[in-house]
């Protein structure tokens, strides 16, 4: 595996107890596809559940009991850090207190996972503490290919709603990333649709939700966050030593 790496990014699963198991079924379909494509790691990039409820986290825990690859959890604005810790005590990479920042090592590509959640709010913030953690984490290994993951898009999407509830201090995030040329890709979720942007030199990929897709509202008078018939899905990030990284939308 020294020359190849495949990351399955599944985002905005929004597990809930009152949808007849639909969100759980979509998550399981995504994990089954990730297995088919030989994913080395599965990363859930936030909004794990819909309403921060313990029964929702219990359903999530049951759904990911036997993942086809090492599976890691990140929080989103619909999540509760304390309940994530209580429900997943065996996920030892999660810090015991504070923000749920962590890194994934021991693969050809390093993953730096940043918790940008503001409890009780929909938007994300890096804040000084997050910027310092990110700077420190990236400084540990300056030569290894790296993916930075967070929940909120760190660029303007031009959507009337999601630019108000994205990463509000995205400029500071880009300033940190700019100092680290080893960052090949930034990945996130939150928007429930595929989108592409830039943070300093690094392309940013917004993964779709595995549960449902939102449309766009780019002009006044257009419906805010309309659910659309576009496919939900996940993203496969594939890296090779000689070819670099490519990101593929995988429909469900």
How does pLDDT run across 74-105, given as a tens digit for each residue?
Answer: 999 999 999 999 999 999 999 999 999 999 99
pLDDT digits (tens, 9 = 90+) for 59-79: 999 999 999 999 999 999 999
**Mean of pLDDT values over 226-239:** 96
> What strands, in cross-sheet order, belong to the sheet with 4-10?
71-74, 41-45, 4-10, 233-240, 244-251
> Quick check: 192 pLDDT over 70?
yes
Chain position carrying tokens 């290894």 = 144
**Superfamily for domain range 5-251:** Metallo-dependent phosphatases (3.60.21.10)
Q: What is the mean pLDDT of the chain?
A: 97
Q: How far apart are CA 11 and CA 144, in angstroms?
A: 25
Per-residue DSSP letter, 208 = P
Q: Which of 112, 49, 113 is nearest to 83 (CA)?
A: 49
Whether the predicted model's global pTM rises above the 0.85 cut: yes
Q: How far apart are CA 83 and CA 48, in angstroms?
A: 11
Q: Band of the pLDDT at 1, cuts 50, 70, 90?
A: very low
């Amino acid at each position: 595996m020294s020359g190849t790496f495949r990351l399955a990014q599944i985002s905005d699963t929004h597990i809930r107890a009152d949808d007849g198991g639909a969100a759980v079924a979509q998550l399981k379909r995504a994990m089954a596809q990730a297995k088919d494509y030989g994913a080395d790691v599965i990363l859930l990039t936030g909004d794990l559940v819909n309403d921060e409820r313990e029964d929702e986290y219990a359903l999530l825990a049951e759904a990911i009991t036997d993942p086809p690859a090492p599976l890691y959890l990140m929080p989103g604005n619909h999540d509760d850090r304390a309940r994530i810790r209580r429900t997943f005590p065996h996920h030892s990479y999660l810090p015991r207190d504070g923000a749920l920042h962590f890194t994934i090592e021991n693969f050809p590509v390093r993953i730096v996972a940043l918790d940008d959640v503001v409890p009780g709010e929909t938007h994300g913030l890096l804040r000084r503490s997050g910027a310092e953690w990110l700077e420190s984490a990236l400084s540990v290994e300056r030569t290894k290919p790296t993916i930075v993951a967070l929940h909120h898009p760190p660029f303007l999407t031009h959507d009337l709603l999601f630019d108000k509830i994205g990463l509000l201090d995205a400029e500071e995030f880009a300033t940190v990333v700019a100092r680290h040329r080893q960052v090949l890709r930034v990945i996130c979720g939150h928007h429930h649709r595929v989108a592409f942007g830039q943070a300093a030199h690094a392309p940013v990929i917004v993964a779709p939700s595995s549960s449902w897709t939102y449309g766009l509202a780019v002009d006044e008078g257009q419906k805010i966050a309309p659910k659309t018939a576009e496919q939900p899905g996940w993203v496969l990030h594939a890296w090779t030593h000689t070819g670099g990284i490519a990101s593929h939308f995988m429909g469900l």
